[in-house]
Structure 1
Amino acid sequence: MSKIASKTPNDSYLASNLTEVGHIPVLPSEVQALLQPKDGDVLVDLTAGRGGHAFALAEAAGPGATLVLFDLDEQNLTFATDRVLSLGVKVIPVHANFATAASKMAELGLRADCVLADLGFASNQMDNPDRGLSFRGNGPLDMRLNPESGTTAADIIRTTNETDLADLIYHLGEEPYSRRIAQKIVQERAKEPILTTVRLAQIVREAYGARARTSRLHPATRTFMALRIAVNDELSALDALLADVETGGRKVDEGGWLNHGARIAVISFHSLEDRRVKQSFVALEKNGLAKRLTRKPARASEEEIASNTRSRPAKLRAVTLLPEDN
C-alpha cells in the first residue's frame, strides 16, 4: 500500500558511511547529469534500495520535489524513506514491484518527471548470508527480494526437472555448462535436499571439474544469477516497465504516468538486461517518442571502480520523452 510520509529535516540522521547505509550507489554523477532533477519535479526511484540515488536526486531537486520510492524489500524501503525524508521533501513509499509503476502512479494521481531504475541489488542484501544471494557466505538458498512471499531458489532446485533446469541456467545465466550443472544438481538432490548457498556452489564447482581452475569467474556465478533472475522474475518485470515507458510516451499528451519531457534512466548489470533496455530505447527514438541521451551506455570511471568494485559491470542508458507527433 502507498502512503504519503512527512518529516522535518534532521541532518544528524543522514548516514555518512557504508557501515551505516549498507550500500554505495553506482554512477551517481552520471545519473544526476542525465536526469537533471529540478525543484517541483516528481522523481520516481523504482528500486530505492538504501536510498542513495533517491537522496541525491532529492537534494539536487530541492524542497519542492516529490519522491516516489518503490522497493520489494520492505526494510530497505523504510530505511530509504526515512533517509530521504530528512531533507524535508514529500516522500511516497510504495512496497511493490516496479512492474506496477504505471498503475501505481495513476492511483496516486501523479506524473513522473524523472524515473530511475537501478537493476542491481543493495549491498546489504548481497552481503547478508540469510538472503541467499551470494555464495561467498553460507546461508539458506532463498534469493527472494521480498522475503515474505514467493518461490525460493531451493524450491526451484528441488522441483524443476533436469531439462528445464538446464534451460533456465543456460538462458538466464548464459552458462555454457548448464547441462552438466543441471545433471549434477539432479544427481545430488536425489541423495539429500540442496538447501544452502555453499552446498549449491560446491555442486556447481564439481560439475565444472578441471575447468573450475581456469574459469575467470567463480564457477557458480552464472548459475546463481540465473536462479536469482528466475526467483524474482526480473526480466518479466523489466519488460513490463519498458512497455509502460513506451505506453507513457504515446500517452504523454493524454495524461499518462509520464510527463512531457520526462527523463528515464536504467542501470543494468548484465547483458540480458542491457540488451532489452538498449532495444527499447532505440525503438522509442525510431518511433519519434523519445530522444536517446546516451548513444553508448555510461560506465563507471576507474576511480569509481577502485572505490566501489560493484560498479564495474554497470551500464547506464537514458532517454527523454518527446510528444507523439514531434
Structure 2
Amino acid sequence: MERPLDQTVIHRPVLLDEAVSMLRVSAGGVYMDGTLGLGGHTREILRRSAPDGRVVAFEWDEMAIEQAIINVGEYRSRLTVVRRNFAEIDQGLQDVGRDRVDGILIDIGLSSLQLDYGERGFSFKADEPLDMRMDRRRKTTAADILASARERELADIFYYYGEEKQSRRIAAAIIEARKKVPLRRAGQLAELVARAIPAKYHPPRIHVATKVFQALRIAVNEELKNLATILDKAADHLTVGGRICVISFHSLEDRIVKRKLIENEQFSPVTKKTISPTEAEIRQNPRSRSARLRVAELLLS
C-alpha cells in the first residue's frame, strides 16, 4: 500500500533559480519541462512567464503527475501534461499540437517522491519490492532483471551503469543466491551486496549497494538511452535562440550531456563549466549535492 504524501517533504526542486534563470523565461513563451516530477521547476517557469506563458510537461510517473498538478496550484490552467518520457518529444509535442518550444528543461534526478514514497524499491533504506519502474506500464522490473539476466549481463549493468568496480563479484553472488530464493525486495539485495563485497572495499561515505541500485534503475528505465535521444532531438524542437538546460546527478549522465551538446554544431554552450548548487541549497537539501547544470543555446534550426 502506498504511503500518503507529505508536500513539505517531497517538494524540493534542485537548482531552481539557476535553471529557470538560464532558460530565460518570458511572458508568452512556451516551454517544455521534460521531467515534470513534482512540478517545482514547472511552477516557477509558469510564475515567471505570467500572464500567458505555457509549459508542456513530460512525465511518465502517474503518481508524480497527480502530485505535480496539486503543487502547480493556481498556474495549472497554463500547464499541459504529456504522459511520455522526454525521449518521445516528437510524438509528445505532436500530441498537443506543437512543433517547437522556446526552451527545454530536463532534471534527470530522482524525486523525493520516488525515493521516499511509492514503494518501488528505488532506495535500499526501506525493504520495498524491487520494481524500479518510473512508468508502471513498462513490463520489466528490477526483480525481473535479477531473475533472468546472465552473470556477465549483470556484471556489465553494474559496471557500465553504476561504475561499480566489484561488479563481477556482485553478479556471481546474485547468481548463487537466486538458485535458492528469488531476489524480490530491496532489503534482500542490499544485504547480498554488503556480504558479497569485502568490508575493506566498502565506500566510507555511501552505502555499499548505492551503485548497484543506481545501475539497476538505469537499466530498467533505459535512462542513458533516453537522455541521448532527447539531446539528439532537442534542436529540431527549439526556436532559434531557445535554450536547453540539463540537470544531471552523476558522471555517466554529465558526460553524455557534455558530449552531445558539444558535438551538435547547432548548439552553442552557454556554460563552459557546470553550475553547482550553493552551499545554502546543499544545507537545505543534501540530495542536491551532486547536481550539475549545463546549458546550451540553439543557433541554427
Match of 1:207 among 192, 196, 208: 196
Classify the secondary structure of the residue corresponding to 1:130: coil
**CA offsets per residue over residues 197-246 of structure 1, 9 Å max, x none?**
01100000011122255543211011000000000010111111011024
What does residue 211 of structure 2 align with? 222
TM-score, with length taken from structure 2: 0.94
AA partner of residue 245 (structure 2):
A
Q: What is the CA–CA distance in structure 2 between the aligned matches of 1:46 and 1:213, rounded to whole Å?
A: 35
What does residue 305 of structure 1 align with? 282
Q: What is the CA–CA distance in structure 2 between the aligned matches of 1:199 and 1:79, rounded to whole Å?
A: 30
Classify the secondary structure of the residue corresponding to 1:266: strand
1:78 to 2:83 alignment: no
AA partner of residue 255 (structure 2):
R
Identity %: 40
1:170 to 2:170 alignment: no
| Preserved contact between residue 58 and residue 89 of structure 1 (Cα < 8 Å) | no
Question: Equivalences for 1:271-282 in 2 at 5 Å?
Answer: 271-282=251-262
Q: What is the CA–CA distance in structure 1 between the aligned matches of 2:199 and 2:71, rounded to whole Å?
A: 48
TM-score, with length taken from structure 1: 0.87
Greater mean alpha carbon deviation, residues 143-152 or residues 47-56:
143-152
Q: Report how many residues are paired.
A: 296
- Cα 1:129–1:240 shift into 2, 3 Å: same
Q: What is the CA–CA distance in structure 1 between the aligned matches of 2:146 and 2:203, rounded to whole Å?
A: 26
| Preserved contact between residue 129 and residue 139 of structure 1 (Cα < 8 Å) | no
What does residue 175 of structure 2 align with? 186
| Preserved contact between residue 162 and residue 183 of structure 1 (Cα < 8 Å) | yes
1:27 to 2:15 alignment: yes
1:241 to 2:221 alignment: no
Classify the secondary structure of the residue corresponding to 1:103: helix
What does residue 6 of structure 1 align with? none
**Deviation of residue 77 (structure 1)?**
1.3
What does residue 245 of structure 2 align with? 265
**CA offsets per residue over residues 15-69 of structure 1, 9 Å max, x none?**
xx96446230000111122001111111111110110000011101112111111
Q: What is the CA–CA distance in structure 2 between the aligned matches of 1:128 and 1:209, rounded to whole Å?
A: 31
**Deviation of residue 320 (structure 1)?**
1.2
Q: What is the CA–CA distance in structure 2 between the aligned matches of 1:49 and 1:94, rounded to whole Å?
A: 12
Q: What is the CA–CA distance in structure 1 between the aligned matches of 2:7 and 2:97, rounded to whole Å?
A: 37
**Structure 1 residues without counterparts, runs of 5 or longer:** 1-16, 249-256
| Preserved contact between residue 129 and residue 138 of structure 1 (Cα < 8 Å) | no
- Cα 1:281–1:135 shift into 2, 3 Å: same
Q: CA RMSD in A?
A: 1.7
Question: Equivalences for 1:1-326 in 2 at 5 Å?
Answer: 19-20=7-8, 22-84=10-72, 86-87=74-75, 89-110=77-98, 111-128=100-117, 130-211=119-200, 213=202, 215-246=204-235, 248=236, 257-284=237-264, 287=265, 289-323=266-300
Q: What is the CA–CA distance in structure 2 between the aligned matches of 1:138 and 1:262, rounded to whole Å?
A: 44
Q: What is the CA–CA distance in structure 1 between the aligned matches of 2:141 and 2:52, rounded to whole Å?
A: 41
